[in-house]
Structure 1
Amino acid sequence: MQIKYQYNSLLLLLFVFILSCNQGSKEKYIYHHDQGEIFTTGYDIKYAYNRSLKEEIVAELNKFDMSLNPFKENSIISKVNRNEPVKLDSFFLKVFHRAEEISRTTDGNFDITVSPLINAWGFGFQNMDSITPQIIDSLKSFVGYEKISIDATGNIIKADPRVQINTSAIAKGYACDVIANLLEGYGITNYMVAIGGEIAAKGRNNKGACWHIEVTKPVDDATGMLSYRQTVLSLCDKSIATSGNYRNYYIKDGKKYAHTIDPISGYPSQLDILGATVIADDCMTADAYATAFMVMGLKKSIETAKKLAGIHYYFIYEKNDGSFGVEYSDGFEQFFVKE
């Protein structure tokens, strides 16, 4: 949510409470439950229909994978990164232009060209002791969302051939939207699509209630095995994504630094927000802003979010005394489950 720019997400801060179907259900259709793996993470899809659509879902996810998975040698994004001629498909074009837009609204704090910096620091900051300001400056010369664009004929234009892109911080959310659109194409109005920690939901579950989503508490647990409830949210016709840093950081000179790399400075973000949950009309938007807010920190994230129509946030942050605080947007109360 990874750093979040990687497909292999290091954290899943959300999981979904789906109540099991019962014999007394009054739904017209059966609730199907399809599970599997895509982008080295799991997907979990529930929907009400008269038959299973797993075959169609898998086919659509495979098409998506061949477009935007940078770890597949023959994917479109891999060919773009190798500067090979390639025809860009609708998946690539939509996610690229949306990423470009979100980069502008976040003053470059969201950036799909940051991979060279991520790779330099290494997984878990394994290369931290060998990083120098000179290395960072060198890499920053070909990192920046403004250094790559698509011209009117649909061709990629790079300011430097070394520019690389990785859409992992937005692609899982967009994949949720893609499958949601697939389901709606079959007239399905009640569904929940979860890929990794990103979720698109519409209508209601088999109990006639909005889908219930749990946000977990920050726990200083390197194993990732501990999970405690922070709050439960009710989601109807909305999408949600969460990004978090509390299990992945290092301490230097008494300060905590997150696993999220700041694309502007080239260095890990200083830890402030521990978990950013974003609700939006589409999952691609929620996914990208959840990542951007982790980089921007509490104050700037709140200022930015206030300017964005349709964006709702729930931030868990660390106070100066080491305790946890919560900030959420005006009107966010509508999503809390009444217990």
Structure 2
Amino acid sequence: MTKNWLVLFAAITLWSCNSEVDRQESVADYYQIVGEAQGTTYAITFQGNQNPTKVKSSVDSLLAVYDLANSIYKPTSLITQLNNSSSASFAVASFPEHAYFKTCFEVAKDVYQLTNGAFNPAVYPLVNYWGFHKENFNHSPDSSEIKELLVLIDFSDESFNFKEGVVSRSNPEAKIDFNALAQGHSVDVVGDYLEHQGIENYMVEIGGELSCKGKNPNQQSWKIGIEKPTDDPTSDPNDFQMIATLTNKSLATSGNYRKFYEIDGQRYAHTIDPVSGYPARQNLLSVTVITDECVYADAFATAFMVMGMEKSITFIEQHPDLSIHAYFVYDENGQYLTKMTEGFEKFILQN
């Protein structure tokens, strides 16, 4: 068995930084801080009079607390304890960090309903079965086992509900996973912290999901490079599909071209179709979503990888109130082509 495991990311076209706190020279009082969180890295650039070392310490503490709510990799986190519970009802209000869980649950329910289940956090048992959490998939998929797991992934109100601080499940064996939106939400959380510190110009990026407010150090819109789809680990990370310019917007990219297993010549990508129980089979390689809140950009990027390009475009056209803009890269007979929703072109840097 050949196994490939590479993480998709949106490359950030900023500047090199050799330390965890770096002052930018183009405009006074711009700083960049970098660090590690959620199994990946983060980079934050901001303008302000705050001590950047203290800002970094506060961000690190904030993200550590966030993981205590929504990280499936931490045995003591709220979501892990919920998933491990054998009770049909689980009280979350006693957890100090339960507000982060509550927001993710509510956004997940919202996007689940809007996309008719294409986005589904209850797909956790299937993602785990396919091995994308523990990197331990070492057998051919069994259709009967997948059929049994499909019974557990209903995220409708009848099967999963959250009311008055209690999560109720019709089946105690059901589990949820916020990985497809929690990173985007944590970007929003850090952005909210910066704004409460009086910071108006900033870029927050965690694992490729990001939010940009105000102006960059050159007093222009923030410029973000989106990586070209490729499964070649030797490819140039600075070879961008396009450069997006953002002001007061968030961006997330999802794709199947770097995170997959290959078994006997068959590629299994990490986006699971909650209807079939198998990895989504689309010619869609990646989708970049721009919207107001990063949690929604993150969630819809995942949903669109399941829905496919045409259904996603139709969805966006039918929901103008959501202010979603999307850029798709797809494979047509071995040729990589692109398509964007109406209005996305205003976000593309014109050379």
TM-score after normalising by structure 2: 0.86
User: How many angstroms apart in 1 are the aligned matches of 2:16 and 2:222?
Assistant: 9
Aligned partner of 1:34: which letter?
A: I
The structure 2 residue matched to 1:59, chosen from 42, 58, 61, is: 61
1:74 has 2:42 as partner: no
The structure 1 residue matched to 2:338, chosen from 322, 326, 330, is: 326
SS at match of 2:329: strand
User: How many angstroms apart in 2 are the aligned matches of 1:63 and 1:43?
Assistant: 16
SS at match of 1:114: helix
Which ranges of structure 2 fall in alignment gaps of 5 or more residues?
18-22
TM-score after normalising by structure 1: 0.89
Q: Mean alpha-carbon deviation: is it higher for 161-170 or for 242-251?
A: 242-251
The structure 2 residue matched to 1:132, chosen from 142, 151, 159, is: 142
1:98 Cα deviation after fit: 0.5
- 12 and 23 in structure 1: CA distance in 2 versus 1, 3 angstrom threshold: closer
Aligned ranges 1:8-157 → 2 under 5 Å: 10-18=7-15, 23=25, 25=27, 27=28, 30-50=29-49, 51-52=51-52, 53-83=55-85, 85-87=91-93, 89-123=98-132, 126-129=137-140, 131-146=141-156, 147-151=159-163, 153-157=164-168
Superimposed CA distance per residue, residues 103-129 of structure 1 (whole angstroms, 9 cap, x where no aligned partner): 111111111111111111224683451
Superimposed CA distance per residue, residues 69-109 of structure 1 (whole angstroms, 9 cap, x where no aligned partner): 11111111111112264425211111100000001111111
1:17 Cα deviation after fit: 2.2
User: How many angstroms apart in 2 are the aligned matches of 1:125 and 1:295?
Assistant: 23
Superimposed CA distance per residue, residues 207-249 of structure 1 (whole angstroms, 9 cap, x where no aligned partner): 111111001111231x375432111010110000001112344
Match of residue 200 from structure 1: 211
- 324 and 24 in structure 1: CA distance in 2 versus 1, 3 angstrom threshold: closer
User: How many angstroms apart in 1 are the aligned matches of 2:183 and 2:314?
Assistant: 26
SS at match of 2:274: coil
1:337 has 2:337 as partner: no
Match of residue 4 from structure 1: none
Match of residue 291 from structure 2: 280
User: How many angstroms apart in 2 are the aligned matches of 1:94 and 1:169?
Assistant: 14
1:16 Cα deviation after fit: 3.4
Count residues in correspondence.
Answer: 325
User: How many angstroms apart in 1 are the aligned matches of 2:131 and 2:268?
Assistant: 14
Contact kept in structure 1, 2:10 and 2:209, CA below 8 Å: no
The structure 2 residue matched to 1:216, chosen from 223, 227, 236, is: 227
- 19 and 189 in structure 1: CA distance in 2 versus 1, 3 angstrom threshold: farther
1:143 Cα deviation after fit: 1.0
Same amino acid, percent of matched pairs = 36
1:254 Cα deviation after fit: 8.9
Contact kept in structure 2, 1:11 and 1:224, CA below 8 Å: no
Aligned partner of 1:49: which letter?
A: G
Match of residue 3 from structure 1: none
- 178 and 22 in structure 1: CA distance in 2 versus 1, 3 angstrom threshold: closer
Aligned partner of 1:314: which letter?
A: Y
User: How many angstroms apart in 2 are the aligned matches of 1:23 and 1:12?
Assistant: 27
The structure 2 residue matched to 1:269, chosen from 280, 293, 296, is: 280
Contact kept in structure 2, 1:19 and 1:206, CA below 8 Å: no
Contact kept in structure 1, 2:108 and 2:299, CA below 8 Å: yes
- 107 and 19 in structure 1: CA distance in 2 versus 1, 3 angstrom threshold: same
